[in-house]
């Protein structure tokens, strides 16, 4: 079997396997599409069980980045990189420099940034050997959290006909940089939080500052909540976990939340509204991409992130009107963008949609 036969291979333009023996680097860079511009996406470092698992992850993540850029209206393509290794043990300056040289050899077809297992300081080290890094000045996490908050706000308005979060219960899985910032926003908006994380310090922080209820990682799925918000790793919505959900909305920051594409229909069959991750977690990319595109100030950036609210509503309405899953509608919208289609010609045009009767949609 070759990469071309891989179930997650989606006509990716380029897949590069990087090896530096002296630095101990094993990495894979996947460029899904450069139709709209250079491929952009973070570098994840994770102790994958196998190289096959790493390949699956990078193929899925890079495709999602293409869709994320397209839905965000950015002139960027989709790419991703994974480094095989435990960031707590194996990450060092030599390894990051070696990875930077691998990215440099791609000549700007792929721009890299932080992701799970890497942070702002790591990207800055990579940038010592590479011209094609972004997100080096400001962490994208708060902006990612804001986009997820706006997407969740749209889901609450549509599914629950609520214009605010006061008294709503939100179960947050994962309290990393994005999850913590999202909890800040939800707590300030009046939500009651149920949280879990494998890091005890992160859990203690949530208890102290957000008055959060804590549960074991395995117990988070079955919590009686209005919203389930996955903010850790992907693939967590599957045949085992979906039947446990008591929430009527899934909206979170984690990439590739669906175990398989069919699980979008499984959620819909249970009347659970799914906000596609690549639709609502684009805030960080919108922020960090300014270092590639050299445009727009903070006010315009925040405006574009808050537009995630209305885009999400369009997806939700269209899915209901046409009996499709929200993932299918979001995919179609992204593919139309990748094919250089005009949103005004699509079935998602705002004038065709009826938002009457939905409380809290004054932002449109």
Is the pLDDT score of 347 beyond 70?
A: no
- How many alpha carbons lie under 13 Å from residue 37 in its C-beta half-sphere? 16
Is the pLDDT score of 363 beyond 80?
A: no
Tokens 């530096």 locate to 20
Q: How far is residue 46's CA from residue 152's CA, in Å, rounded to a whole number? A: 28
Is the pLDDT score of 342 beyond 80?
A: no
In tens, the pLDDT along 228-248 reads 999 998 899 999 999 999 999
Q: How far is residue 328's CA from residue 48's CA, in Å, rounded to a whole number? A: 29
Predicted pLDDT of residue 232: 92
Is the pLDDT score of 360 beyond 70?
A: no
Burial of 126 (0-12, 13-18, 19+ CB in 10 A): buried
Q: How far is residue 165's CA from residue 227's CA, in Å, rounded to a whole number? A: 10
Predicted pLDDT of residue 340: 63
More confident residue, 287 or 345: 287
- Bridge-partner residues for 280, per DSSP? none
* Domain 138-364, second-level architecture: 3-Layer(aba) Sandwich (3.40)
- Comparing 12-16, 32-36, 48-52, 134-138, the range with the smallest average pLDDT is 134-138
Q: How far is residue 36's CA from residue 77's CA, in Å, rounded to a whole number? A: 5
Supply the mean pLDDT for the chain: 92
In tens, the pLDDT along 31-75 reads 999 999 999 999 999 999 999 999 999 999 999 999 999 999 999
Nearest residue to 15 (alpha-carbon basis) of 64, 48, 62, 67: 62
Predicted pLDDT of residue 60: 94
- Going from N- to C-terminal start, the domains of the chain cover 3-126, 138-364
More confident residue, 36 or 341: 36
- Read off the pLDDT band of 138 (50, 70, 90): confident
Q: Which of 68, 80, 91, 213 is catalytic?
A: 80
Identical fold for domains 3-126 and 138-364, yes or no, is yes
Do the Cβ atoms of 315 and 331 come closer than 8 Å? no
Per-residue pLDDT averaged across 138-144, rounded? 89
Nearest residue to 269 (alpha-carbon basis) of 323, 306, 347: 323
Q: How far is residue 337's CA from residue 331's CA, in Å, rounded to a whole number? A: 10
Predicted pLDDT of residue 343: 42
Is the pLDDT score of 337 beyond 80?
A: yes
Q: How far is residue 17's CA from residue 289's CA, in Å, rounded to a whole number? A: 25
Predicted pLDDT of residue 116: 87
Tokens 């990748």 locate to 338
Per-residue pLDDT averaged across 294-315, rounded? 91
DSSP 11-42: S-SEEEEEEETTTTEEEEEEEEE-SSSSEEEE
pTM (two decimals):
0.86
Is the pLDDT score of 19 beyond 60?
A: yes
Per-residue pLDDT averaged across 349-357, rounded? 47
Per-residue pLDDT averaged across 177-195, rounded? 97
**Known catalytic residue at 91:** no
- CATH number for 3-126 (one of 3.30.750.24, 3.40.50.460, 3.40.50.10860, 1.10.3470.10): it is 3.40.50.10860
Nearest residue to 66 (alpha-carbon basis) of 347, 331, 247, 274: 331
3-state SS class at 236: coil
Is the pLDDT score of 361 beyond 60?
A: no
Q: How far is residue 287's CA from residue 277's CA, in Å, rounded to a whole number? A: 17
């Amino acid at each position: 079997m070759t990469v071309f036969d891989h179930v997650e291979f989606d006509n990716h333009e380029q897949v590069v396997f990087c090896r530096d023996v002296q630095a101990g680097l094993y990495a894979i860079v996947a460029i899904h599409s450069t139709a709209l511009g250079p491929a952009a996406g973070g570098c994840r470092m994770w102790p994958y069980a196998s190289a096959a698992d790493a390949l699956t992850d990078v193929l899925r993540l890079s495709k999602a980045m293409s869709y994320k850029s397209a839905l965000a209206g950015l002139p960027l393509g989709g790419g991703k990189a994974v480094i095989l290794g435990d960031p707590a043990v194996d990450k060092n300056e030599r390894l990051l420099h070696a990875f930077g040289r691998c990215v440099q050899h791609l000549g700007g077809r792929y721009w890299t940034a932080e992701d799970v297992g890497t942070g702002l300081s790591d990207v800055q080290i990579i940038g010592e050997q590479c011209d094609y890094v972004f997100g080096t000045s400001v962490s994208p996490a708060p902006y990612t959290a804001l986009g997820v908050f706006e997407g969740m706000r749209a889901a609450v308005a549509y599914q629950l006909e609520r214009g605010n979060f006061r008294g709503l219960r939100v179960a947050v899985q994962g309290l990393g940089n994005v999850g913590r910032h999202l909890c800040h926003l939800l707590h300030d908006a009046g939500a009651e939080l149920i949280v879990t994380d494998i890091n005890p310090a992160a859990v203690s922080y949530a208890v102290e500052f957000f008055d959060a209820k804590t549960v074991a990682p395995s117990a988070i799925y079955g919590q009686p909540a209005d919203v389930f918000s996955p903010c850790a790793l992907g693939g967590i919505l599957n045949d085992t976990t979906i039947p446990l959900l008591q929430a009527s909305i899934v909206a979170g920051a984690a990439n590739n939340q669906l175990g398989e594409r069919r699980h979008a229909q499984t959620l819909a069959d249970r009347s659970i509204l799914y906000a596609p991750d690549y639709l609502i977690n684009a805030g960080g990319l919108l922020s960090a991409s300014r270092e590639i595109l050299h445009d727009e100030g903070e006010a315009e950036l925040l405006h574009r992130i808050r537009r995630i609210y209305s885009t999400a509503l369009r997806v939700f309405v269209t899915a209901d009107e046409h009996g499709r899953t929200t993932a299918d509608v979001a995919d179609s919208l992204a593919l139309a963008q990748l094919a250089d289609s005009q949103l005004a010609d699509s079935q998602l045009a705002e004038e065709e949609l009826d938002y009457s009767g939905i409380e809290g949609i004054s932002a449109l």
